[in-house]
């Protein structure tokens, strides 16, 4: 990764076999300097230690938590990741309703994106990520 570039952390993988999902990695790869992927929030927390130098050298960090296909959203993990203050967090979900949006916002999520909207308009994720990075939190101690 180039020093001082933007970094995306993709956490989780969509569940459900045989279903074609929108692929955040492909959408974000031209927007950020590097992408780290973790299959679960627990793996991400462990990975933060092994990738500490990459996180520190990043100009801005974006977290994308993928909860598509999950029976229920793991709010405790989402809240923990949002409050670590690495950077803004975008949550990917199957379906969006007002209660889910309210809870996500209260948990610290910057933006929720619904799979069917992503499938029709993949640029939604890119635009949301660009805006999040433009106004995102900076990692403590990261270079300006």
More confident residue, 16 or 61: 61
Residues 40-49 as b or e (16 or more Cβ within 10 Å = b)? ebeebeebbe
Task: Kindly list the structural domains of the chain, giving each domain's residue range(s) and its CATH number in brackets, ordered by start.
Answer: 7-14+21-135 (3.40.50.2300)
> How far is it, in rounded angstroms, from Cα 9 to Cα 15?
18
Give the global pTM: 0.87
Q: What are the pLDDT digits (tens) for 5-43?
A: 899 999 998 887 667 889 999 999 989 999 999 999 999
Nearest by Cα to 143 from 29, 55, 66: 55
In this predicted structure, the answer to whether residue 141 has a pLDDT above a threshold of 60 is no
Cross-strand pairs, 62: 8
> How far is it, in rounded angstroms, from Cα 110 to Cα 104?
8
């Amino acid at each position: 990764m180039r020093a001082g570039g933007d970094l995306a952390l993709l956490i989780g993988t969509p569940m459900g076999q045989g279903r074609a999902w929108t692929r955040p990695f492909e959408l974000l790869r031209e927007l950020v300097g590097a992408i780290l992927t973790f299959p679960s929030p627990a793996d991400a927390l462990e990975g933060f230690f092994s990738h500490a130098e990459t996180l520190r050298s990043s100009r801005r960090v974006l977290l994308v938590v993928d909860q598509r296909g999950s029976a229920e959203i793991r709010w405790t993990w989402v809240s923990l990741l949002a409050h670590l203050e690495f950077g803004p967090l975008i949550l990917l979900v199957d379906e969006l309703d007002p209660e889910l949006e309210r809870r996500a916002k209260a948990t610290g999520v910057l933006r929720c994106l619904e799979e069917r909207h992503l499938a029709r308009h993949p640029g939604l994720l890119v635009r949301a990520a660009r805006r999040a990075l433009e106004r995102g939190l900076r990692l403590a101690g990261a270079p300006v």
